[in-house]
Amino acid sequence: MSAHAADRVTRPRMLLLSMYPLDQGLWGATTRITQLRDALSRRVELDVVAGTRSARGAALARYVAAGRLRGLAAIYVENATTLPGPLDLAFVAVARARRIPILTYVRDAQQLFPEYYVANTLKRRASRALFLPATRALIRASTTAAFPSRGLAAAVLGEGRRAQAAPLLPPGSRLADAGPINPAARSLLFVGGLRYPAHGGAILLDAMALAHARSSNLELICVSRPG
């Protein structure tokens, strides 16, 4: 047996459960998860289940039916802004009952903050009401829950020792060096959300006003979702 084949045999097998689809373009969340997927696949034998709630649920049911939980070393769950579904919770509970270690990463809690999440429809009001119960149910079913910041841990878990003890994970993206600024450039490009004031649109415009004081020919190009 070659060394390469032996490595494939001896590497542990892990499941990455992404509550975002990974085949519909890249944005902040999917960029992070895609880079985590690529990094993990170089270290372990990696299974991936990703998609919207309905597609994910069907894939998880097939995963269990195929006996893929057998021999699984660990599960990493990347939670989404949308709520975990009943099949997500059932799958994690079944895996936990089989003593498979499960790390769930709670990446945001927009529903808890009106400046980020406007509950102006029945669906959004329901999402806001169900966010904490559903997310906490997922956390209880998991072995460990991790967060990007201590403040977010406190918002989801409540103030106390649990939030203080929750592990924090760094960003999943590679840190890149800033390229040199072209002194002849006359355009600035912004790519991101501007729908709500908390996204920083006003700060961006104030910064452009300061920039215009130095160069009246400077223009700002914004690429955002409609709305």
pTM of the model: 0.79
Rounded CA-CA distance 198/204 in Å is 11
Distance from CA of residue 141 to its chain's centroid? 18
Number of domain units in the chain? 2
- pLDDT surpassing 90 at residue 81: no
- On whether both 44 and 119 belong to a single domain, the answer is yes
- On whether both 117 and 216 belong to a single domain, the answer is no
- On whether both 21 and 119 belong to a single domain, the answer is yes
Portion of the chain with pLDDT greater than 90, in percent? 49
Long-range contacts (CB closer than 8 Å, 24 or more residues apart) made by 206-212: none
- On whether both 136 and 195 belong to a single domain, the answer is no
pLDDT score for 116: 83
Confidence of residue 205 (pLDDT cuts 50, 70, 90): confident
Rounded CA-CA distance 198/202 in Å is 9
Q: Which domain holds residue 151?
A: 3-165
